[in-house]
Structure 1
């Protein structure tokens, strides 16, 4: 049984001992595949370092997080894009639109999003989407970019059934994390209307820890609690959840 965390910022932990302990706990819980979203220029080196330590377990993405899209975003995008040929990258992410913190940057967020979708299509890679309080805006961009090359993951999906089906129709899998374990989130009811074959697992660690660790720092080893919740929703074994979601991750990332 192998679990895949399709979205973890485990590299934020820069203490070597603590980082190795986080990885050991992953292995103890069969979380053997971890995909690392890039958020800015600084995180490139941190991701590369973790990948070099665990080349069989950790896999890099490249992208500019929408919250990090500032006035200098064009030069930042150039720096990130220029790093791609020098390392193995399996997705462009995390990219998208976030209107929770700052609505005034919408126009440049949209431009950065489109540019990075273009990279993904050029390179034949999936994209990993960050969408917060911006479903309409994200879908507007995606629908305009819809073609056979557009594919990926809707990271930390918390939308409704209609939004889920629109994302799936656009050739995206839904990234399901700790929110599914929150009683009042209602995500379990949405997933009950969907197929397990359209989902992948993620933690978004160190954020959004699942119950029983809600409110505490998250870690990739906690993926088992998310998997158990999905097993409960779909009435299947945890092993089946692991197998289906890991196979889905292989289809997306090609590894």
Structure 2
């Protein structure tokens, strides 16, 4: 059984004390593939170092996180473009729109999102979308960019059934993580109506740890708890859900 964590910030400062142990622990639980989203240029060096340490297991993305779209966002986008031109990446992400913390830079976030989608198309890469309090705004940009070469993952999907269907309609897989184990997470109430061929597993570690670790540091080994929850929702074996979701990740990332 091979599990794929399609979204984990293993370069985060939260792992500075035990990063190698955390990765090895996850691998012992069957998590053999780790896809690493970018945040901004300040993390690029640590991402590259992580890839160098685990070249068979770590797969990097490049992008500018919407909460890090600041006044200098055009310089950051230039960094993203330069990195994509000079290094192998497996997705443009995580990118999108976040209106939870700050709505004042919505136009800049929209501009950065659209630009990075176009970069992904240029490099024939998937996108990995971050969406918080911004489904309408995300869908508006996706509608404008809709095409056969637009595809990817709706990371940490927390929407309703209709929004799930809409995301799938834009060639997006739904990233399912710890939220599916929350009592108030709600997505567990309709997931059984969605074919698991549309799902990938993720942790978003060190964030959004699943029950019973909610509120604590998340880690990739906890992906097995997400797997268990989905196996229950679909009434299928853990191995079957692992196989389906890892195959889905290969469809998206090409590896």
TM-score band (shorter)? Answer: over 0.9
- Matched ranges for 1:14-163 at <5 A: 18-163=18-163
CA RMSD of aligned residues (A): 1.0
Partner of residue 3, structure 2: 3
2: CA distance between counterparts of 1:86 and 1:160?
A: 39
Contact preservation (8 Å) 1:13, 1:19: no
1: CA distance between counterparts of 2:6 and 2:50?
A: 15
CA-CA distance at 1:143 after TM superposition: 0.6
2: CA distance between counterparts of 1:51 and 1:13?
A: 16
CA-CA distance at 1:15 after TM superposition: 6.2
- Matched ranges for 1:220-239 at <5 A: 220-239=220-239
CA-CA distance at 1:51 after TM superposition: 0.5
1: CA distance between counterparts of 2:15 and 2:170?
A: 40
2: CA distance between counterparts of 1:154 and 1:60?
A: 17
- Partner SS for 1:33: strand
- Matched ranges for 1:205-216 at <5 A: 205-216=205-216
- Of 232-241 and 180-189, deviating more is 180-189
2: CA distance between counterparts of 1:184 and 1:68?
A: 28
2: CA distance between counterparts of 1:249 and 1:145?
A: 22
Q: Across the two proteins, how many residue pairs are aligned to each other?
A: 255
- Partner SS for 2:193: coil
1: CA distance between counterparts of 2:45 and 2:18?
A: 18
Partner of residue 240, structure 2: 240
2: CA distance between counterparts of 1:15 and 1:108?
A: 31
- Partner SS for 1:62: coil
- Of 218-227 and 12-21, deviating more is 12-21
CA-CA distance at 1:184 after TM superposition: 1.8
2: CA distance between counterparts of 1:7 and 1:16?
A: 18
Runs of 4+ in 1 over 3 A off after TM superposition: 13-17
- Partner SS for 1:141: helix
1: CA distance between counterparts of 2:244 and 2:84?
A: 29
Q: Deviations over 1:202-248 (max 9, x none)?
A: 00000000011111000011000000000000000010111000000
Q: Deviations over 1:52-99 (max 9, x none)?
A: 000110000000000000111111110121012332100000000000
TM-score, L = length of structure 2: 0.98
